Structure 1
Amino acid sequence: MSRSGPVGVGVIGAGVISDQYLSNLGSYPDVEVVAVGDIDADRAAAQATKHGVRSSGGVDAVLADDDVEVVVNLTIPAAHVEVSTAALEAGKHVWSEKPLGIEREGAKDLVDLAGSRGPLLGCAPDTVLGPGWQTAKRAIEAGAIGTPLSATTAFQGQGPDWWHPGPEFLFAKGAGPLFDMGPYYLTALVHLVGPIAHVVAVGTKAAEVRTIRSGPRAGTEFPVEVPTHLALTSIFEQGQVASSLMSVDTPLFRHGVFEVNGTEGTLVLGDPNYFGGSELRVYRPMVEHDRSKPQPYEILPEEGPLSGRGVGALCMARTLRGGDVHVATGQVAYHVLDVMVSAEESVQRKEFVEVASTVDPVPALPADFDPFAATLA
């Protein structure tokens, strides 16, 4: 059945991150959130009331709702594949929070299911669709730094156990700094530089047991299942190399180190956990050797309005109505997952690991892309 007008969205998962999604999706005229679902129906009802959504209930209620065209899957990582599969089988298009899954097999089955049945499949992070990252992507494609050669990224800090009231899942299989924050940095690298062919990584743990530091359960201990400090080297299909530090074991808090080096300049970006708002700087090779002077740089003005989480689902919605802006695809997300699992294997095997998957170069969004415009009749 052909539809017109705003695309109906059903959100499954009414946890902490749902506030951002529900607020942002409510600001995009081309989509309408019509249902909120959760295994805890009372929590779903509370979020629906808070954000003015007309319907709520369990997961099955959202999947059975004919007004829901796109399901936004905000469940925990371990449930992503199960919930997304159920949504695809119900004939819904799916936007999933990251990661797409926590193992290759289930995630690949999900991509294949979408391909065989026809629904669109997309996955966070959609921060790469924000004006900062899209401006940088178009600049790189236009040759602003010449031929890209390498990249450096880093985030580090004390970890979510210092602020999250229930952080155990962030230290379980399918999480840790690699799977929790890594998708932001690796997805941005794939968008800006290209697919990754090989990885080598070293991972360690500061402790086997950590303690919740805030909230009503402060003082509760829990096990650490994954490396909490990871040094990753990625080699891209076209020969570029990236060095990435991912750690929740350092007293120094430093997020958002992201630099792309080319033959004619270095592009310094912001934190890939954000959509933009940071100063984009291009540093050129120095013509004189004088360390007493600050190194000069050029500023790249961001193009487009600052968006937020949920813009990837909006891109899917516009594509459903005949547009062509769905670029944060399931295929890209699967490649990033494959890179992360390969990094885990490299830590265990202490050797380079080939990344079996690949993905086509990711196109940039149009310079006039505006998530706040009403484009659907």
Structure 2
Amino acid sequence: MGTARHAHRIGILGSGNIFARYVAGMARYPELPIVRVGDIDVARAERAAVEHAVPAWGDDAELYADESVDIIVNLTPPVHHARTIVRALEAGKHVYVEKPLGTTVEEGRAVLDAAAASGRVLGSAPDTFLGSAGQTARRAVDDGLVGTPVGASAFISHSRAETWHPDPRFLFQRGGGPVMDMGPYYLAILVNLLGPIASVTAATRIGAPVRTVTAPDRAVDTIEVEVPTHASAVLTFASGVIGTALMSFDVWDTELPRIEIYGTEGTLSLPNPNNFDGDVRLRRHGDAEWTVLEPAVDLFGAVDTREQHRRGLGVRDLADAVEGGPHRANAAFAFHVLEALCAVETASREGRVVRLASDCARPAPRYTA
């Protein structure tokens, strides 16, 4: 990642569950100071600001109006992403938003149009493909270590959020579910490795229609499920690679791998794409065992520690882009991933193959060739 020439002052919109992860991750970048917290719950914003030594706080309108803020990091729930992105752009801010870019293709197009009209830079999570695991796998594919990619698989199992998240309702409402919540991490990795997706076909269903929340500090006891919680999809990439994806909040236990790439000369196995780092393993045809590849870039955090939950690499990426550097976790990339994820529901509901209208370039690699 590049080195900033100037400081870019950060305002964070939303001080909920993931706020502290961004504060911890962005502490790596002193040139990206967090100067304000905005939230519709001003008391919560104040608590977050005091706890993390952020000098200013207030409601969302005050954040948009703060002339000292250059970049807004949008951590609101997905159903609010499109509206708040547009407001931030219209206020003259660059914006980095948590995934997904929106909850529908129409919302995604609207924010792309708003970004173009504003002349500001819009970036979006997931950014974990920028980490050492995603970049190590990218170099392996680019170097032909698996030969020509033929197939890929992605397996998303339940995070058991009901047992630890204080208010997991958003996971089972519009903009949630395994497809929209965890799917962005997996598809972003796949598109980074294999290029854009051409078409999607899928089947989905709701598993348990009511979820019991057992988190000790829970805000609710039960949740009525509004979105599919189990999906199987076939992704056909423009390159000809055929991918299969199982995305489920009904699979509590499994021995399936996270992501694998199958090529004419070998198989590549990737760790959890919700993290930046982890072992990337290669087994070429004829090898007696798997080989762990050397990381292609520095680790973002220590593997198997709380550092793996930190966020902020995508904000650093956006700040570099503001200064003219390559923008990898960009809005067009995020929109393509969003369209593919929305196609899963459309394909299931309509019983057909959905051909994607969008395209995107594979992001420039971070590793040095």
TM-score for both structures, normalised by structure 1: 0.90
Q: Secondary structure at the match of 2:271?
A: coil
Q: Say whether the 8 Å CA contact 1:256–1:272 is kept in structure 2.
A: no
Q: Secondary structure at the match of 2:258?
A: strand
Q: Which residue number corresponds to residue 140 of structure 1?
A: 141
Q: Deviations over 1:158-178 (max 9, x none)?
A: 742233221111101111000
Q: Say whether the 8 Å CA contact 1:202–1:231 is kept in structure 2.
A: yes
Matched, 1:304 2:320: no
Matched, 1:120 2:121: yes
Q: Deviations over 1:36-62 (max 9, x none)?
A: 110011111111111111111111111
What is the RMSD computed on CA atoms of the aligned residues?
A: 1.9
Deviant stretches of 4+, over 4 Å? 216-219, 253-256
* 1:312 positional shift: 0.5
In the superposition, relative to structure 1, how do residues 69 and 254 fare at CA in structure 2: closer, same or farther (>3 Å)? farther
- What is the CA–CA distance in structure 1 between the aligned matches of 2:56 and 2:255, rounded to whole Å? 41
Q: Secondary structure at the match of 2:96?
A: strand
Letter in 1 for 2:318: M
- What is the CA–CA distance in structure 2 between the aligned matches of 1:191 and 1:347, rounded to whole Å? 25
- What is the CA–CA distance in structure 1 between the aligned matches of 2:154 and 2:290, rounded to whole Å? 19
Letter in 1 for 2:296: E
- What is the CA–CA distance in structure 1 between the aligned matches of 2:14 and 2:255, rounded to whole Å? 30
Q: Which residue number corresponds to residue 359 of structure 2?
A: 358
Range 88-97 or range 304-313, more displaced: 304-313
Q: Secondary structure at the match of 2:35?
A: strand
* 1:193 positional shift: 0.5
In the superposition, relative to structure 1, how do residues 186 and 160 fare at CA in structure 2: closer, same or farther (>3 Å)? same
Q: Which residue number corresponds to residue 240 of structure 1?
A: 241
Q: Say whether the 8 Å CA contact 2:25–2:311 is kept in structure 1.
A: yes
**1:1-377 alignment, distance < 5 Å:** 5-157=6-158, 159-217=160-218, 220-253=221-254, 257-276=258-277, 278-286=278-286, 295-307=288-300, 308-322=310-324, 324-367=325-368
- What is the CA–CA distance in structure 1 between the aligned matches of 2:220 and 2:18, rounded to whole Å? 24
Range 244-253 or range 165-174, more displaced: 244-253
- What is the CA–CA distance in structure 2 between the aligned matches of 1:222 and 1:73, rounded to whole Å? 25
Q: Deviations over 1:243-281 (max 9, x none)?
A: 1111111231568611111121111111100001x2211
* Aligned residue-pair number: 357
Whose radius of gyration is greater, 1 or 2? Answer: 1
* 1:126 positional shift: 0.8
Q: Deviations over 1:160-205 (max 9, x none)?
A: 2233221111101111000000000011111111111111111122
In the superposition, relative to structure 1, how do residues 101 and 4 fare at CA in structure 2: closer, same or farther (>3 Å)? same
Q: Percent identity?
A: 38
